Amino acid sequence: MATHSEMQSGANVFRVPLSIVNAYLIGPPLATDRGWVLVDAGLSISRAAIVAAAAAAFGPRSRPAAIVLTHGHFDHVGSVKALAELWDAPVYAHPLELPYLTGRSDYPPPDPAVGGGAMAFVSPLYSRRGIDLSSRVRPLPDNGAVPHLPDWQWVHTPGHTPGHVSLFRAEDRTLVAGDAFVTTKQESLLAALLKPEAVHGPPAYFTTDWETAKASVRALASLQPEVAATGHGVPMRGRELREQLDRLARDFDRLAVPVDGRYVRRAAVADIRGVRYVPPPVFPPAAVLLAVGAGAVVGALTSGRD
């Protein structure tokens, strides 16, 4: 279990590392009951780790005032239903994310054709199913306010998902970015586990609109954050963060957009009802190479029998 100082990502922002993903606790140390907010909820196996981290930061019986979701992918909402019930806490998300949190829609399929590593190659195995939080989930206020966090604003940062949001505190330029950009190469299993510190675009295998994702990165770069706490990777700070984020914003097409892929050729389309259009798949280059290799082996074995 991380110590209090190890968890801290910014003033009153505490990172909860959960193997390949992060959750965040926002509130003053030893906040009173309902005096803090949980941002994202990790994997389905993350409940105990999040509860333990909250107890370490705020006391063993302290419950959040709310749970705020940057988006609804499986690795960010895995424990949200269990935690919302345990703590009797409301859940907030952008209106365009609600179809995936109320059982009305599933996400578009992930795209293994983007390459980049094992995490991308096995992405068809990841759950894209929506969950149903029913009456517990509510839309974020349309004025940009974050419930129970008066110093924070939410920023709509679509592209990775239609209703993706990031959270920003202007007074010290602290940014909780979700997956709008990340600080590790999430497509690579080794990088996802070791978390080398560098700014990267959103996880490619789940990003369904690259032009919109580029606009979101540019919007966040314009905020000139001092601290960025992302959904994957370790928090980054200061000039190095801003320089790398500015570079990503300037050269997003080269640095972040895959050479080819299902959503590179054409974006998925979604609205308040959920997914409306998904482009056809692109046959993954890795699969082509495997097929060619397998064919060569079979051919060699067959030739050897003659």
Beta bridge partners of 168: 153, 175
Say if residue 22's pLDDT is above 70. yes
Q: What is the pLDDT of residue 115?
A: 83
What is the number of other CB atoms lying within 10 angstroms of the CB of residue 193?
11
Q: What is the pLDDT of residue 192?
A: 67
Say if residue 87's pLDDT is above 90. yes
**Pair 121, 286: CB distance under 8 Å:** yes
Q: Report helix, strand or coil for 304.
A: helix
Q: What is the pLDDT of residue 301?
A: 34
CATH superfamily of 4-277: Ribonuclease Z/Hydroxyacylglutathione hydrolase-like (3.60.15.10)
Cβ-Cβ contacts under 8 Å for 194 (sequence gap 6 or more): none
**Pair 42, 78: CB distance under 8 Å:** yes
Q: What is the pLDDT of residue 298?
A: 33
Distance, in Å, from the CA atom of 216 to the CA atom of 106, rounded to the nearest integer, reads 23
Q: What is the pLDDT of residue 8?
A: 58
**Claim: this prediction has a pTM higher than 0.85:** yes
Query: What residue segments make up the domains of the chain, in order of their start?
Result: 4-277
Mean pLDDT for all residues in the chain? 90
Q: What is the pLDDT of residue 240?
A: 97
Residue found by looking up tokens 């929506």 in the block? 130
What is the number of other CB atoms lying within 10 angstroms of the CB of residue 282?
17
| pLDDT tens digits, one per residue of 38-73 | 999 999 999 999 999 999 999 998 999 999 999 999
Dihedral angle sign, alpha carbons of residues 283, 259, 263, 76:
positive
> Mean pLDDT throughout 167-172?
98
| Nearest C-alpha neighbor of 13 from the set 29, 34, 1 | 29
Distance, in Å, from the CA atom of 218 to the CA atom of 237, rounded to the nearest integer, reads 18
